[in-house]
Chains A and B, each alone.
Chain A
Amino acid sequence: MAKSLGPVKRKFSPWTDPSAVPFIRFENITKRFGDFTAVDNLTLDIYEREFFSLLGPSGCGKTTLMRMLAGFEEPTEGRILLQGKDISGVPPYRRPTNMMFQSYALFPHMTVEKNIAFGLEQDNLPKGEITTRVEEMLKLVKLEQFAKRKPNQLSGGQRQRVALARSLAKRPKVLLLDEPLGALDKKLREETQFELMDLQTKLGLTFLIVTHDQEEAMTVSDRIAVMDKGLIMQVATPAEIYEAPNSRYVADFIGDINILEGTVASTGSALGAPGTVRIDCEGIAVSVEQECQAVVGDKVAFAVRPEKVRISPDQPADTSVNAVYGEVWDIGYLGDFSVFLVKLADGRVVRAAQANVSRLVDRPITFGDMVWLTWPLDAGLVLTR
């Protein structure tokens, strides 16, 4: 193991420890609404103190899964274990989970203070302790001077903070966040993502977040489950999901990627062993160095992220493999990056992204230029699913 995938956020990986006991376990969960299967025989383990994301397009069943954990829906089949105990049939008001709602669901007739105190009052805590905890929470989300305001007198960002404070006030074992930052603008959202991560580490809670925003999931999570049509496609760390997606679906859902369909021409080693796989992608010869999961003749997809593709007007030394030639067809300027869409002779389009590292370029590549795209052996992926 000389190389690893991407940066490591923190030394925390209980899922690699076979003796670790999962904090939350979804066991063969199926949920049907009439004829529609929202969640399909799904099994998933989440560990204590983990920041876990459920990521997928709308309608993939991620929210249903979370609502089953909160107790708003009961699974049709299977069971949910929390710290080893089956929580089926336990009503939401007796579960040690708290949820931050997508719409925030703040009580409009109560002040910020009262909203935050609501959960604590249900536990019949002494008045003094409630006051202390509410103050603590207000300080945590920096809303001390807004304690007496009603929700409709707050901005969107402030409301979101109140919702967070309210769901944290009871110090739940698991905090569920349903698209928590959807309503915020990009800057505020990024700020809040880092604050959430900070909070999670500071308070040592388990966070489960539902989102359709892949950037958000990548930023905050220890692990991500990518879902589609009620199924989990892949559960892995953000770096694994990005650098080693297990299927065309995951590769395509997360980030930008070039996918070329092809056939395995040769494998450098036996199935499962590291080696060089050669693929013929309808005229483009591609070589990939990775553990081989296919045999000669298999229909596979070759995938490579645009930022790993080099673009140059100069012909590379070796054009026989991992190199294509085409015309710049469109350029997307994103500020930090430029994305070039290069049209090959046969009409296929390959994207290459280039970091704009200097402000002035000697010889800028522009529309209509003929360019070479190349990528190293370890840049691409073979996708068998």
Chain B
Amino acid sequence: MASVSETHPANKPNPARWLVVAVPYLWLLLFFVAPFLIIFKISLSETAIAMPPYTPLFEGFGAFGDFVSELDLDNYLFLTDDPLYIEAYLSSLRIAVISTFLLLLIGYPMALAMARAPTMLRPTLVMLVILPFWTSFLIRVYAWIGILKPDGLLTLLFQSVGLLGADDQVQIFRTDYAVFVGIVYSYLPFMVLPLYAALEKMDNTLLEAASDLGCPPWKAFWKITFPLSLPGVIAGSMICFIPITGEFVIPDLLGGADTLMIGKTLWTEFFGNRDWPLASAVAVILLIMLVVPIMIFQNQQKKVA
């Protein structure tokens, strides 16, 4: 009876286990690494009037020498030259940061109310949060045009309750405000669900214990509830922040001409200017911008735990 763990079957190398582990890696390889490498390759080539519209870079292993010598970083250098791109990146980050903050502000109380609701009611509330997904995302954003446009439903509502005169109109359509409204609306479920998951499993006797030890409820929220929901806060923020940074549809449909977001720039480069190499470079930078901070953050988290 030496050590049980040494002979435990779970610790023996087992081919079936490797197969299970391999599936997600294979998935990542096929649908993340491979497309990324293709995009990265395109970003290093030049535009050409051809189909596809860029010079081929890699044609067999015999041409490897040519491949290396023909690599050029012109596209990346161009991105730093033109302030438009830097501004678009910064503006995207700004909109994503503000939106994520607004989402937390609105999503947290919602998730908290759901988690504290009677057990019987909770599945219904979760269903209500998910329900909008049953309609196409695009249609829902279009619906907001109908609400936000100057002669839209919002104006009618304000006029009917007397907040606005008969000739006045709500002037937020095609501004950044409309973009925030659209983003917060669209991403709210992605914020609420992870928060709810974290809050729902919290033990309520912890709050009783805090109260018993002399901590009033509002203080107990910041000392107990919020710290314990941090994994949900982080997960929700990540899930929202990352796609918002690259968001294209919402700023395109609800934003104005001066709403600068990198997703829109990317689209213009690809389809407006047909400059695939430059567009690819924009995409690569965007990816690095998002992936690097996340990796640093996750490393920190590991050290803390």
> A interface vs B, CB < 8 Å?
70-72, 91-94, 97-99, 101, 103, 105-109, 118-119, 122-123, 166-167, 170
Contact = CB atoms under 8 A, between A and B. Distances in A.
A73 to B, nearest CB: 11
A170 B232 CA distance: 33
Given A101-B205, A105-B206, A123 B211 contact: no
Contacts of A101: 205, 208-209
Contacts of A166: 213
A109 B202 CA distance: 12
Contacts of A91: 211, 216
Given A103-B203, A103-B205, A108-B228, A119 B214 contact: yes
Interface residues of B, number: 17
Contacts of A122: 213-215, 219
15 contacts: A72-B208, A91-B216, A93-B211, A94-B214, A99-B208, A101-B208, A105-B209, A106-B209, A107-B209, A119-B213, A119-B214, A122-B215, A122-B219, A167-B212, A170-B214
A94 B206 CA distance: 17
B239 interface: no
B203 A118 contact: no
A93 B224 contact: no
Mostly, the B contact residues are: helix
Contacts of A106: 209
Interface in B211-250: 211-216, 219, 223-224, 227-228
B207 to A, nearest CB: 9
Nearest to A67: B208
Interface string B6-42: 0000000000000000000000000000000000000
Interface string B79-103: 0000000000000000000000000
B210 interface: yes
B175 to A, nearest CB: 42
Contacts of B223: 118
Contacts of B212: 70-72, 92-93, 97-99, 167
B216 A118 contact: no
B211 A109 contact: no
A322 B241 CA distance: 84
A46 B209 CA distance: 23
Given A103-B203, A105-B208, 15 more contacts: A92-B208, A93-B212, A93-B216, A97-B212, A98-B212, A101-B205, A101-B209, A103-B205, A105-B203, A105-B206, A105-B209, A107-B210, A118-B210, A122-B214, A170-B214
Nearest to A108: B228
A71 B210 CA distance: 13
B201 to A, nearest CB: 11
A98 B205 contact: no
Contacts of B211: 71-72, 91-93
A107 B214 contact: no
Nearest to A118: B213
